[in-house]
Chains A and B, each alone.
Chain A
């Protein structure tokens, strides 16, 4: 048993750490010391922060109590007070071998911009709650408490409040958010993802600097004003951060007292680091990493910005002074990589290196190289490192990137500044000086680093839109009406001409996009009504200046995005219909309708005709032009929606997580010959296996759809190991040409087909085979068979 020894939590010491002279209303959690006591009580290994069921429910009850107590107060004060309770449900114990603190989880009830189970703001995770009910150690009293909590939050959570505000038109067009289990043309998404912080500011200023800035702002506003409350609550939230950091310092010291040798020293060092970054400016690379990671974990953000830029100076200073060598730096980075892997946000965890717009490029480049070397050695599915490059950049970075890719590791993803910057200028309608800050998050959506938000709040399945249109409003899967009103079809003359059909499809798409844009706006409004999201907003331009949370209008550019799926299948479907029905007249549209509704049963010959029609991905002008038309229509119409909303931009993203597969499983057979309930194409890629004309033709097709009208499109390319190993100069010439031709981005997987096929049979031998599934990477053996087939179907060059 542990005694109450060593350094128990010292509130006075904590107060001393807080910035001097600041008049801060601290809403100190009264239970803080209780938390510690209970830790010590249950400590088998000396203390554990991870809460047990009843404690967790107690914490959530208290969180709810605090929330209710602030019914009459402003959202800022309420949020800051809630944060002071919530963090105890977030922090997780330091584990043996950890170099950094900041393991974290999400309590089933809480508050953050983006949380599990598709939530934002104040949330309740229904599945997690179910688990709590079933926990063996739950007490009867806790159950009762939980009943009350569920009852309260079921209506009080931010999503529920937003849903209540849906207009009838929105409800009609967007009936569901369950794209996994239901068929549909458009779905809503709930989260505020893709927030990319100004980590550079955090690291250059430290908590002390941030607070000084906030205090300066506060001095300029009237006491009692909303802004005054905003700044006060922001300061209080930073105090919560300090508290958490010190709390961890404490834990590290306790662990150190029990450990021996190298471990002891390591933990003591960790404690010293945490103690300093709790309030002060980080003085070393290690401190910078700790500050960034812990801040991110406490907020719940899932991406790590331009890490080479934010930490390059500290890295270089430490290397140059001899404080650490490169090996030590890689060891530290590996420590962070390990925590990222434990958090396991495989759709996020983006980390961007390289490119224009970094403050000290020379220093950043050095760190970028170390980051890639770390990824090469660790070979895990996160972080998703993305390398930006431009003509004139230090070539060592690009070369290092290829070297890592050659090992079969899917990172870095490659982003071509020469194409992306002008594209972002046009699509986002921002000047060059802002466009150079475009980076990606999540599955490849672009945002302007800490200047804009751009979360995708909806998705559209273009292929389903076409299938339903051909069926004049009936979803063949359910036999029920779907999409735009049946009466709207009357003007399209029974699709006598191709133009009639195409126009009807466009109206179908537009009918949904209009509401998706309005939904995005509505989601922001409600996200902003409930919270300032202080940890995020403090590091997002220009929230402090404006004295507002990012979703209340504090952010410089309030942008939104729409995920679109099935683009290539839709284009190929139209190509086949145009050729076979309207030009060669070998089939009627009615026949096509019957064929797809019958999943081609009894129509094998006709299906072959559809399959033999030209396909996107072969540098075939007919097929590619169709894709461009689909693309232009969707992107332009979506972009126009900023005029119908208060959004600075509303743009399509042609990204891919596994939604192409998941939604495909709900989508009937299509006129491109695709069978019912099978995957759709990933991202901007051709339909798997449809590209048969060689890699140069494939790449030439990829660059045809404009990059200047959307907020990101991903392309997956699979190359063989042999090509990388034996023909490197040719591979480089190939990529170089692709970039010159307008290639914006590439996700390369280097495998041999034999590897993939064998991995399906002998998964045990391929534990480390990682493949890209569009927007994220995964061990091949962990993917479901349907996704295996999708990955295998992509042509290997």
Chain B
């Protein structure tokens, strides 16, 4: 290991932090200043060229933007916030990043260490608060620990199963000076990021797949996090295994890949859900059997032998007991198993997916994406955008019906192209995440589908778009309802629409007040033209589409029931 030392250069803890970030390849920071982090922002003033700071409008926006940045770019997202309320405002996003395995390094200011424990102004125990929702949380109280802590933070956040890390940085440590040196962290004795697969398990997994008549692969974000898209394709192609994806695994396989049979879960495609209970070998790859995917576990894939590829040992046998587990990064475990696979065909089995999916197409998909009801449907908006972007855009969604429609009817050609809040389902995620995604991948078009409700949960970030000149395409699917909750009320609560109708502001005027070009569409005939205009515009654009008020997302498997209990229509 090489040590970088700049002899006799004594610099502040704040500057040490910035130099350390540069060593880790950071070039973008999302943040918001305040008293306890002012020395860091002061130091940043001299590093404006190297470190692009995006001033958000609320710390929740900073975290979600950093998440979008990390998910699109594959790099850790970095956030600066002040102590107290600045730090607590990040908690929702940190929890979101934890459950969705997104690498973040969050640096919060803290009161001077002599005041710790005295209920000082804006003192909060952010390490204690964040511990249950971070991979690691650490308070830097001594200037000599700054570069060490940053090195640990990046190692922990980005290796193994990624996740958020919090560094709570006391003001005195920011101000004190030290001799700067930086040493990257490559290992921590008590931390095993990627356990090694047992060769016997690798052999058993291959044996099960080779003997399978009806193998079925479930693909999750783990493949994207391991940059193993090619390995996955090669694996499923060799043994001709039909595959379906979780919400976060949406863009792992190209939409048009012949073995891509669609989405899993509560609002997933029909064949993937039904076939889960017909396959003989179920191969889970970098996914965690979330209840939104499995439904009732007692009726989940009981007939199948189950193989689970995952990097996180705590996911094995957590929700579903498996026959064989293959621990480790799928980038290496997939090829290891593949090398023992025989080529296979499974033509009939693969075709059976298409037959079932055709039923869904006729009953659900076609009427949704080529709608002939009077009002515009959400699905046709998503389809229009997918057609116009040719599957090349990064699609970001908020949470609710817009999210499910965005996932179901978008098209993708390359990985890291779908960004949504999965495990936590955080409304308000979409707008800041789209901003972050665009900053992380400036060459790509970023389209956000957002509900009228969720849009108003981080709507202040329109200011960030204005100030930082971010160019994203915002599509509000305005049904004037908290649509997904309304759908459940219609189905399970006797149409008692308790607190779900929404009186909304004029989104177009609102956008215009932030100098964002905007347009509202209420007629089907204007939709395509508006989408074209939006995409052609060199800058951010907000397109509000009046969609049917009481649209439904189908198919639907009601919570807690079997994956085969799929409702296709009202």
- Chain B binds chain A: no
Chain B positions within 8 Å of A, measured between CB atoms, are: none
